[in-house]
Amino acid sequence: MEANLHPLSAAHVPLLSVVIPVLNEEDSVGLLIDKVQEALAAVSHEIVIVDDGSTDTSQDRVREKISATVILVTLKKNYGQSTAMAAGIDHAAGAYIAFLDGDLQNDPADIPAMLERLQADDWDIVAGRRCQRKDGILVRKIPSRIANWLVRRITNVALSDFGCTLKVMKADVARDLQLHGEMHRFIPAIASLSGASMTEVDVRHHPRRFGQSKYNLSRTFRVISDLMLIYFMRRYAQKPMHIFGTAGFLAFIAGSLINLYLLALKVQGQDIWGKPLLILGMILLLGGIQLVTIGILTDIGMRTYQEASQRTHYRVRKIYGGPRESL
């Protein structure tokens, strides 16, 4: 799917697109649209609501608000928040994109100041940091603090609140995210892979007024899986052979040493058949060969993908001098 699918003429391109994924938020979504419009009255904007397979009347509530600046994108089924956000990005036309949750816990009134900070200091991303968070301590706050610490350690991205959906960023940065799974939680980490600059500001946080939270502990395992993928992408996306090859060579060397030791025992006349050490040596030997082979194939696959997608290994922030100088 190509970006900028929402058909707008050049004269009506908004400065800011506010992307809001919604799932069963019938009581809050109409009020949220009103609050966004009030907060952004002085800013050229559009609101892109992505209904992620709601089974209540959320779509009806949004259709009541449809206008030239309120767009509803309905998905055929529930794909998850990351995919819904990706759909919103694809249909957004603004030069900047802001993300909001649909439950009214984020405050749209914080967006203008975040947009101003983004433009004034030329950041790629301004992320919200929830101060005085209005969530339960045991179920939400403590797990969130542990998760934030873990993400910081693994990704080396120095933000304190990765779970806050409220973010404002340049549209080209948003379109380069390629969100899926539960990746919306790691937007700063994903953006940092392309060298995006970012900062964090305090934003307001309100208690949930309507509906039920979509968070549950079962999502923790999916988040951990995606975090492992982020770690791999950050460390080895451009050099997968470094992880598979290193592990393979170490296993191969260990297996070879064990087998040489057993060969020496065999030469001395000892019976080595059936020894656990022999089995371990063969597993390490064969496993090492397989890991090296996987590393080679993965490296070839990554190179093929990069050539096919015609993407460079870097992103240019600015060009000085010559006919292509960027302003």
Whichever domain contains 30, its CATH number is: 3.90.550.10
Same domain, 118 and 209: yes
Of 144 and 30, the structure prediction assigns the larger pLDDT to 30
Identify whether residues 27 and 164 lie together within a single domain: yes
Is residue 319, in this structure, part of any structural domain at all?
Answer: no
- Tens digit of each residue's pLDDT (9 = 90 or more) over 138-191: 556 666 677 777 777 777 787 878 888 899 999 999 998 878 767 788 888 888
Pairwise CA distance, residues 325 & 327, whole Å: 7
Residue 285: inside a domain: yes
Contacts of residue 115, defined as CB under 8 A and 6 or more positions apart, other chains included, come to: 16, 43, 96, 98, 126, 168
Same domain, 162 and 105: yes
Residues 254 and 169 in one domain: no
Question: What is the spatial distance between Cα 89 and Cα 91, in angstroms, rounded to a whole number?
Answer: 5
How far apart (Å, rounded) are the C-alpha atoms in residues 310 and 289?
32
Q: What is the pLDDT of residue 321?
A: 46
Quote the distance between the C-alpha of residue 57 and its chain's center: 29
- Is residue 327 in some structural domain? no
Does one domain contain both 211 and 194? yes
Which of 221, 236, 251 is at the close of a domain? Answer: 236
Domain range enclosing 194: 10-236
List, for residues 275-326, the tens digit of each pLDDT value. Answer: 889 889 899 999 989 988 887 887 777 667 656 665 554 455 554 445 545 5
Cα angle vertex 224, ends 155, 315, to 5°? 35
- pLDDT the model gives residue 8: 47
Asked if the model's pLDDT at residue 218 lies above 50, the reply is yes
Q: Tokens for 143, please give them.
A: 């797990």
Phi, psi of 159 (to 5 degrees): -115, 155
Q: Report the 10 Å Cβ neighbour count for 294.
A: 17
Backbone torsions φ then ψ of 129, nearest 5 degrees: -125, 110
Query: pLDDT (tens digit, 9 = 90+) per residue, 63-119?
Result: 899 988 999 998 888 888 888 898 899 889 999 999 999 888 889 999 999 999 999
Could you tell me the two tokens for 207?
A: 């208690």
The enclosing H or E element of 247 equals helix 241-267
Q: What is the pLDDT of residue 9?
A: 46
Give the rounded percent of residues in the chain with a pLDDT score beyond 90: 34
- Comparing CA positions, the residue from 237, 232, 284 lying closest to residue 257 is 284
- 169 plus 273 within the same structural domain: no
Residue 171 covered by a domain: yes
163 with 213: CB under 8 angstroms? no
Question: Do 200 and 132 sit in the same domain of this protein?
Answer: yes
> In terms of Cα–Cα distance, which of 315, 155, 313, 154 is closest to 238?
313
Question: How many structural domains are present in the chain?
Answer: 2
Q: Does 85 fall in a domain?
A: yes
Question: Does residue 148 lie within any of the structural domains?
Answer: yes
Q: Which two tokens stand for residue 263?
A: 């060969």
Residue 135's pLDDT is: 58
